[in-house]
Chains A and B, each alone.
Chain A
Amino acid sequence: MPKGLRLLVIKEVKDLLRDPKILIGMILFPALILPLMGAAINISTGSLVEKSSGPLTVYVLDEDGGTVAQRILGFLQDNNVEIRLVRGSYEEAIKNVAGGGVLMVLPEGLSQKIESGARGEIMIYYGFKEFSILESLNAQRMSGLLGGFENILVRGLISENVPGANPDSILNPLLVNEKSVIKGVAQPISPYVLTNIVRMQGLMGPLVIMIVLILAMQVAATSIAIEKEAKTLETLLTIPVSRLNILFGKLVGSVTIALLATIANVFAFTYYVSSITSQVTSSIGNLDLASVGLIPPPEGYFLLGLTLFGALVSALALALTLGTLAQDVRGAQSIIGIVIVPIFLPTIFLMMGDMQTLPFSIQMVLYAIPFTYPVLASQSLITGNYAPILAGLVYMAFFTLFTLYLAAKVFTTEKVMTGRFSFKRRRL
């Protein structure tokens, strides 16, 4: 590295890292706030799970008193339900759940109806006070318990009425065994579970890429504007170092800070996502993608790294070119606010859908945006479809070279001092 460039990079990194706005806003804040959010979600989810798995209190107005009613109450008690029998009219009974809770009304003649082969009806009242998740979970739990009791009831009826029959064969005569074929090998996983996990893991890549690109562009665009605002650029342009070295010093300095911010963000984001998805993954059995043949190959990671680096350099070159023309930091931030849109576009389009399912015109727009390729590369880790990524790398190289050429063109002329964006309308 030439001496001038080395000095400028060291100064740039030192200056940026000592800037409280950069250090706190870009590195420390995300590194702390995301894990804190994850921890907060974990704590509240944990206490919710704890509360919802405790004894469930159910008020019961038993107007039947028959054998079926007795069996329901017995079943509920066996399943961690605390029964509180109430007497009197229905209007009086319902007052018990005014502040939240569950009321079950077993009407007169329920047992007789069921025993004679007719349908019986029971009423459940869910009291809502805070409209909380816990109230909703209690309702789901009660509903699930009654479903369980009904199953027992049905099996009993089948055994009684069809001697010698297997209740399972009557209830589920068709056993559907779903498997997913991955790379030609059938794996014992439901397609819904598989796609959910792949989608969840596929969300991470694009989101992290978006964060990195936005951070890097902000650093790069404002780095020259800061020099202008602090009145240090004019002096810098008169020292014996080439202007291209000054430009590349900014580029390398911004990449270094962006990488530090990325590391902080990736760690924080990973912790955050693992915190909030731990409940979900435990419910579907912690599926390891590697165990079903979905191990991303090394060349996939290499291509992802390459496209990410290409997108980073092209984003920085673009940000530097535009930042060079801004008169101050606020101006540079406004410009980047506009340029961020093409970074969001591919992430939003591809996070939820596939390129092939999009209309042709939108596909063309996305392929023209260099920031699309890291998102595609993150998806190709699983699909193995590398052709568009390789073509994208060539395109990104041209885009970056052209943008760097523009940045150098602006920086090596007096436009770096005199150029500015104007949103004023020309007079006719």
Chain B
Amino acid sequence: MARVVVVRDLVKEYPGRRALDGITFEVEEGEIFGLIGPNGAGKTTTLRILATIIKPTSGYAEICGKDVIREGMEVRKLISYLPEEAGAYSNLSGLEYLRFMASFYYDDDESIRGAVESAIAISGLGERLKEKTSNYSKGMRRRLLLARTLMVRPKLAILDEPTSGLDVTHAYHLRRVIKSYSKDHGTTVLISSHNMLEVEYLCDRVALIDQGRIIETGSPELLKSKYSAANLEDTFMKVVGFAQGS
């Protein structure tokens, strides 16, 4: 199976702070890979580097063989990114927003229309898409943005805390969409979350990240078995305990 993401010894330093301390991991084609860890562990920084928003201090990262530092524009054609705190243009309707975003990925009207139709189905917002996005609830806006992320059929969908702050109904809808979309289209998904149960439900493999370092990688089942834990939350606490103790 082809490797979609390759990250080697990624370091990111800010004045007085090292956000990433030599991160290394790989993501295979078609898998849902989760970066899990507490707030400030380095998840968002890693995703932002892969999304070409910021540059690492050192290290290497590629997506489908394209260097994220040197070939930013090529990488942006392959990915679709959903930031943790994302908004839509409040003066545009949901449909206008989707059409606007799709136009950057496709040249012909038919493809643009196809992408928007797929987003309409993914979002499940129906007629509400004709309203200005300023009228949307947080959950509706998140559904619109996830639809925008997936409608362009990216090689890699990067989702930063996709269900953070959502009520159970919207969070449930989003998780189901991510899982089924990846399965149906073979889309590779890199997801970050501090919700361990969500990650356990969604991800084929996970990397546990703490203080800018990856401390364990594997499938949720493998990790739970390795650390004799009931769930990923227990696993994380045990791994962190080991890491701090070692």
Chain A contact residues, CB within 8 Å of chain B: 3-4, 7, 11, 14-15, 18-19, 230-232, 234-235, 237-242, 413-414, 417-418
Contacts and interface: CB of A to CB of B under 8 A. Distances in A.
Contacts of B55: 413-414
Nearest to A19: B91
B184 interface: no
Nearest to B89: A15
Nearest to B158: A238
Contacts of A235: 81-83, 86, 145, 148
A422 B66 CA distance: 36
A219 to B, nearest CB: 14
Interface of B: 14, 48, 51-55, 73, 76-77, 79-83, 85-92, 96, 100-101, 103-105, 107, 145, 148
A11 B53 contact: no
A18 B91 contact: yes
Contacts of A19: 91
A238 B76 contact: yes
Contact of B77 (A18, A240, A417): A240
B103 A15 contact: no
Contacts of A418: 14, 54
Given A7-B104, A240-B105, A14 B53 contact: no
Nearest to B105: A240
Chain A interface helix/strand/loop/mixed: loop
B83 A417 contact: no
Contacts of B91: 14-15, 18-19
Nearest to B76: A240
Contacts, number: 73
Contact of A14 (B87, B92, B101): B92
A417 B54 contact: yes
Contacts of A3: 103, 107
Given A230-B89, A232-B88, 5 more contacts: A15-B92, A232-B86, A237-B53, A238-B81, A417-B48
B87 A239 contact: no
29 contacts: A11-B89, A11-B92, A11-B100, A14-B91, A14-B92, A18-B92, A230-B87, A230-B89, A231-B85, A231-B86, A231-B87, A232-B88, A232-B89, A234-B48, A234-B85, A234-B86, A235-B145, A237-B52, A238-B52, A238-B53, A238-B76, A238-B81, A239-B101, A239-B104, A240-B76, A414-B54, A417-B48, A417-B53, A417-B54
Contacts of A231: 83, 85-87
A242 B89 contact: no
A237 B86 CA distance: 12
A397 B168 CA distance: 57
Nearest to A413: B55
A25 to B, nearest CB: 15
Nearest to B82: A235
A11 B88 CA distance: 12
Given A15-B92, A230-B87, A234-B86, A241 B54 contact: no
